[in-house]
Structure 1
Amino acid sequence: MIALALGQLRRRPAAFAGLAAALFLALATVTTFGLLFATEATAGPDAREPVDGPGPMVIAGAFGEIAVLVAFFVVVNALGFALRQQHRELALLRTVAATPRQARRLVRAEVVATTLLVAAPGWAAGAAGARRFLAELQERGMAAPGLRVPDTVLPMLVALVALVAVLAVGLAAAAVAARRISRIAPAAALTASSTEHDRTGAPRLLAGAVVLVAGGLLLRLAATRPPGRADQAGQAALLGSLVLLAAVALLGPLAARALAAVSGAPARALAPRAGWLADANLRGYARRLSSAVVPVALLVGLSGTMSIMTSTAGHAPGAAASGVTSATDVWLRQSELALLVCFASVSTVNTLVALTAGRRREFALLRLVGATGAQLLRMLTVEAVLTAVVGVLLGAVVAGAASSAYSAAVTGSAVPVVPPAACGWIVAGATALTVPVILVTGLRAVRGPAAELAGGSGD
């Protein structure tokens, strides 16, 4: 299985690039905060001076908790698209008597091989990040000056724990991502194409409803925290936004189709031909649209939640006295936001590249029935803009709900303080990340002989 997995990685390096990036980021993050946690936990009495703020151990625990949750989300997403691009190969293995268990073992072997390939650079980046982050904490008085990341066996032990943790995340993601391909009948897997079923399965709808309720309960918990516990309210609101984004991923086809129907009307009016075709594509392939907009919603939802929470905290009564707007607190929030944006950006780019590249056969068929390259480019431009709009709207809904809960806790009002400039940059950044990625990948996907591509697998 390991030899077969390595062969897949050699034949399809681009398919596993997103997964490798996600695993690298996860490993570097877990190593960074694991080292910070272990550094303070094993420090001598002379290095345990009183500091301003919660201290490196608490900060590492809080950052690591959010990072692991987001890492799982991103790794599942990246692995799902890596499997989608080798769908036919897995189906062929099934037709030559490979069992579902063997297919799942192959997927697990690919995850293990990819993780081991990024282990060394991930550890190095994590160790450098721990030293840099500790220096920043010491400069701001949040860590004792005598603390040092030890040059002993401890970093290796932390690196080993980080590898085990990331492998656990990757294998859990493999179990989720490989479930469909291992259960489908071999003939059905081989003939499966880009067509979709119109209905979203009842188990998925039920799971989405349960997760949605769980997110609502977390936001209620955040909203009912006393004003003196702004940090607890912030953590609950941020966790609630993550859970709501998971609900968006589960219920995405329904929400995406509804929002696409609303946003598609102006596109049809402004660009009758390209707009009509783009709108039909988005609404006809609701699951594909959902896969594209969920990472954008993740990026906008997390960034918007953090930015609005920080602005709201600055306008809270007695904010200066409680310390929620101190320079160190703002820096911590900005650092957490930067970490989340890194994960969300990796997920967004990987998803959009995989989805657009996977439409090679569809573009070839459109060319065979008379569509020109310029017409396809216009269609893709409209689709990219609509994808960004739907993703931003979904993310804005999540950010609004989470920040409202936080605002209710720290200000007594459910109306948060929205920073227009920061939110404008978030929307611009999400759009700048979405539209060019789709267009550049689309330009590559429409190249080549149309007849050959239309008769092939579309990979």
Structure 2
Amino acid sequence: MIRLALGTLRTHRAAYAGTFFATVLAVALLCGAGLLLASVLTAGPPADRFAAADAVISGARDVTVTSSKPKKKDKIKTKTKTERLTGAGTLPAGLADRLRAVPGVSLVVADAAAPVRIATPDGRAVLGADDAPVIAHGWASAAVTPFTLRSGHAPGPGEVVLDADLAGRAGETVVLTSRTGVRTVRVVGVAAPAGRDALPAQGALFLADSEVAAVTGLADPTAVAVFGTGFALPPGIGEVLTGDDKVRADLPGALPDYIAPISIFGFVIGLTGFAAVFVLTGTVTLGVRQRLRELALLRTAGATPGQLRRLLGLESLLLAGLAAVVGAPLGVPFAALVAGRFRTLGAVPAQFEVRVNVLVVLAAVLVGLLVAYAGARLAGRRAVRIAPTQALAETAVAPSGGTAARVLAALITTAGAVAVLTFVPLGGPLGMGMSFVATALLLCAVAALGPLAVRPLTTIVSRVLGAGGATGRLAAMVTRAESRRVAAVAVPLVLMFALNAVMLLNGALLTDLAASEQAARTAAATGRAPGGMPLAEARRVAAAPGVTGAAITLPTRAIVVRDGKPEDYAAQGLLTTGTEPALDLDVRAGALGGAGTFAASAYLTGQYGWHVGDTVPVRLADGAEVPLRLAAVYDRARGFGDLVLPADLVAAHDAEGLTGAIWLRGGGGGSLPDAVAPADSNQQGAWELMVVVSLGFTAIAVVNTFAMAAAGRRREFADLRLAGATVGQLHRLAAREALITVAVGLVLGALVTGVVTGVFSVAQDGTLRLFADPRTYLTMLGTVGGLGLLAGVLPARFVVRSR
């Protein structure tokens, strides 16, 4: 059987080229996407700031909630959920003194760390390497890395020491901005850890120990580093970290954040995996169908259906194994290329690198082998039952049947899509991902129906596009008669259009809605003062002459516990002044209150079942839990945040605590900014990059499928030439057939796209939009349609020669 399979592959190299090429691309795509996800899941901090310490006691760095639920037979199920803080909790001030008295402890360093901003006197911002944040410490904290002086001396009052990387771009003086105020300080020294100029992912600024509290606003340390040998720390002092875990004591904001990249690359592997499996299965199936006469000949020679199924499966494994040898190495540069683009967009940390994981590569190869094998076995279920007499016929047709199974599969996947679109809150953070799931399920339904879905559309489209001349009528009759071949080519077109159009249209819709809500929020404002200043300074700006109203916002994150699970949300500290409002959140219930209150978006209140007047415990950026009364429910939350907290509360508990924007009314402030926040732009850029990856792969798959279909028609075209057809007539016939096939694919793709984008649009703001962005929609139609026509015409021109 192996010798027969090898002989078949050698003899029919051209026939198998399309399947081989599709498998190479599928394995490369799966391997690259898997490496991206594995790399981000295993990515760690690039360096440990507490490397020199033997142990570190850390303040709160996350919120952990343990809940219990009774089960059957008096059993109790306990589960623990954790959410990472964006700030850092502090430790008791006297802890360092207690630890100094522990036997074996030689040195204790109370480390108070907080993010600050520094700039040159002319206003040029100075950031760490790769635009990393700058973290301020007391000079005593230099020992925990350790940092040592390369030049200058330790800082005194009004002085700072910078790491070598920062010092190279700063001058003799810098303007230091923290939540407690703005100061001009003198650079008196340059320090660096051994063997490098700075720690990766953060810049270091050292203050005089006596000035740490005044500059950072921290009365207590965020961590305590312990040096010594043979010591035993007393219980109840907090989380004790040793070894590689010491890095967790650093500020969350000073460490690369891989939470968002995990979801991005998870979506990438879901998208690429679905497209690869979808395309590869269809390509293998088409390849098997083109061998019907050969299978009939083997049946004539005495082969049983079981032997033919094993032959097809073995051939697919051999072909896929050879393709995997080529495709798997291509996945590594593909992953590196995608990661580099995501770094440029700011969607992943600048320090992120793709690491080759042998298990991931082997898994991609295994998936490619299994999909190719399953596709061949599935396609061969009916093909191998072909009658031996068909080996003598001009055309071979697979036995009919399997309609019930196709309809059942389509009904199941359609029901799944309906359930997702009906019961999942698409207006929430899961909306984009769930719209992809719904699209994938509907595409599976289209693929399952295959000719059943294509045949009625082909009947209608062919009569319209086949009108005019004998060539058109013949093309219409051929496409109606060969519904299976039309389906094999049209379904990849449906995938290409629907999958990418849904992502582009829904992403553009979210961006447009965020922009319109931002414009509506700030419509009353006549100007905006620069952000990035302490709250006290912002108050002075708001009190300037001629300003009749101001809204000061401080961006932060807050955590709310729901059903035993802590959930993190974007939030804003808000302070309003004056007699005229400068910011309109479209309050639907209650009124924006003051101290001890908060406001929540309509989406969040709906999810949690909150009502105005409810008291809710809210965890702030440093982990402090504060009970707040819900005073208002607002509607304009896109690009702003789902929670509004008192500005003074945010400034006291957020380590950075600087303003994001100061919206002014009546005078001053300069021009208004663009409506879309940088985070939205980065997210849209990430969506567009994923579309480029998907579009590229599916486009190649479409071309490959058309080429396979054209190559399988050599005998048919030769018979037409013998019957008197000219080369030009055959070219026009192929073009008209391609036009009909592409039109059928686009109609099905538009149907899937319209259903998903329409429901998604209604979930956002109650408005039905089948074409959320007409320009994008028409561009996708033109791109996919044009590519389909080229893919249908060009291979036929190579097959139909002048002789």
TM-score (norm 2): 0.51
Q: Is 2:248 the counterpart of 1:248?
A: no
* Residue number in structure 2 paired with 1:6: 6
Which is further off, 126-135 or 327-336? 126-135
8 A Cα contact 1:380 1:442, kept in partner: yes
In structure 2, C-alpha distance between the alignment counterparts of 1:207 and 1:343, rounded to whole Å: 26
* Residue number in structure 1 paired with 2:507: 310
* Residue number in structure 2 paired with 1:391: 745
Letter in 1 for 2:478: N
8 A Cα contact 1:267 1:275, kept in partner: yes
Identify the structure with the greater strand proportion: 2
8 A Cα contact 2:706 2:792, kept in partner: yes
Match of 1:76 among 272, 276, 281: 281
8 A Cα contact 2:493 2:745, kept in partner: yes
In structure 2, C-alpha distance between the alignment counterparts of 1:315 and 1:28, rounded to whole Å: 35
Which is further off, 52-61 or 205-214? 52-61
Letter in 1 for 2:379: A
RMSD over aligned Cα atoms: 2.9
1:26-45 correspondence runs (5 A): 26-45=26-45
> Which stretches in structure 1 are left out of the alignment for 5+ residues?
450-459
Change (3 A) 1:182 1:281: closer
8 A Cα contact 1:15 1:81, kept in partner: no
Match of 1:116 among 305, 321, 326: 321
* Residue number in structure 1 paired with 2:297: 92
Q: Matched residues, percent identical?
A: 32
In structure 2, C-alpha distance between the alignment counterparts of 1:109 and 1:198, rounded to whole Å: 25
In structure 2, C-alpha distance between the alignment counterparts of 1:416 and 1:256, rounded to whole Å: 22
* Residue number in structure 2 paired with 1:299: 496
Question: Residues 292-338 of structure 1, C-alpha deviation per residue, up to 9 Å, x if partnerless?
Answer: 21111111111221221122112224443367971221122112212
* Residue number in structure 1 paired with 2:477: 280
* Residue number in structure 2 paired with 1:347: 701
Q: CA deviation at 1:74?
A: 0.8
Q: Report the structure number with the largest CA radius of gyration.
A: 2
Change (3 A) 1:372 1:72: same
8 A Cα contact 1:196 1:287, kept in partner: no
8 A Cα contact 1:256 1:390, kept in partner: yes
1:14-413 correspondence runs (5 A): 14-46=14-46, 50-51=255-256, 54-150=259-355, 155-188=357-390, 191=393, 193-194=395-396, 201-222=403-424, 224-225=425-426, 227-229=427-429, 232-269=430-467, 271-316=468-513, 317=517, 318-321=637-640, 326-413=680-767
Q: CA deviation at 1:77?
A: 1.0
8 A Cα contact 2:495 2:698, kept in partner: yes
In structure 2, C-alpha distance between the alignment counterparts of 1:345 and 1:63, rounded to whole Å: 17
Change (3 A) 1:138 1:80: same
In structure 1, C-alpha distance between the alignment counterparts of 2:27 and 2:758, rounded to whole Å: 33
Q: CA deviation at 1:264?
A: 3.1
Which is further off, 116-125 or 440-449? 440-449
Letter in 1 for 2:682: T
Letter in 2 for 1:89: E
In structure 1, C-alpha distance between the alignment counterparts of 2:362 and 2:466, rounded to whole Å: 55
In structure 2, C-alpha distance between the alignment counterparts of 1:41 and 1:198, rounded to whole Å: 47
Change (3 A) 1:285 1:315: same
Letter in 2 for 1:208: A
Change (3 A) 1:376 1:268: same
In structure 1, C-alpha distance between the alignment counterparts of 2:398 and 2:42, rounded to whole Å: 54
Letter in 1 for 2:753: A
8 A Cα contact 1:309 1:403, kept in partner: yes
Letter in 2 for 1:93: L
Give the match's secondary structure for 1:315: helix
Change (3 A) 1:14 1:54: farther
Give the match's secondary structure for 1:178: helix
In structure 2, C-alpha distance between the alignment counterparts of 1:190 and 1:448, rounded to whole Å: 28
Identify the structure with the greater helix proportion: 1
Q: Is 2:629 the counterpart of 1:431?
A: no
Change (3 A) 1:239 1:267: same
Letter in 1 for 2:36: L
Which is further off, 200-209 or 160-169? 200-209
Change (3 A) 1:235 1:221: farther
Change (3 A) 1:141 1:103: same
Which is further off, 355-364 or 273-282? 355-364
8 A Cα contact 2:505 2:771, kept in partner: yes
In structure 2, C-alpha distance between the alignment counterparts of 1:389 and 1:324, rounded to whole Å: 39
8 A Cα contact 1:36 1:149, kept in partner: yes
In structure 1, C-alpha distance between the alignment counterparts of 2:796 and 2:350, rounded to whole Å: 52
Q: CA deviation at 1:102?
A: 2.8
Q: CA deviation at 1:46?
A: 4.3
Change (3 A) 1:371 1:192: closer
In structure 1, C-alpha distance between the alignment counterparts of 2:312 and 2:400, rounded to whole Å: 28
Q: CA deviation at 1:398?
A: 0.8
Q: CA deviation at 1:365?
A: 3.5
> Which stretches in structure 2 are left out of the alignment for 5+ residues?
48-247, 249-253, 518-636, 642-676
Q: CA deviation at 1:385?
A: 1.4
Q: CA deviation at 1:200?
A: 7.9
* Residue number in structure 1 paired with 2:75: none
In structure 2, C-alpha distance between the alignment counterparts of 1:392 and 1:32, rounded to whole Å: 29
Give the match's secondary structure for 2:43: coil
Letter in 2 for 1:396: A
Give the match's secondary structure for 1:326: helix
Q: CA deviation at 1:162?
A: 2.0
Letter in 2 for 1:181: A
8 A Cα contact 2:385 2:399, kept in partner: no
Give the match's secondary structure for 2:767: coil
Q: CA deviation at 1:195?
A: 5.3
The total of aligned residue pairs comes to 441
Letter in 2 for 1:193: T
Q: CA deviation at 1:114?
A: 2.2
Question: Residues 27-75 of structure 1, C-alpha deviation per residue, up to 9 Å, x if partnerless?
Answer: 2222222222332333344468655674333322221122222211111
Which is further off, 413-422 or 50-59? 50-59
Q: CA deviation at 1:283?
A: 1.8
Question: Residues 6-44 of structure 1, C-alpha deviation per residue, up to 9 Å, x if partnerless?
Answer: 332222222222222222222222222222233233334
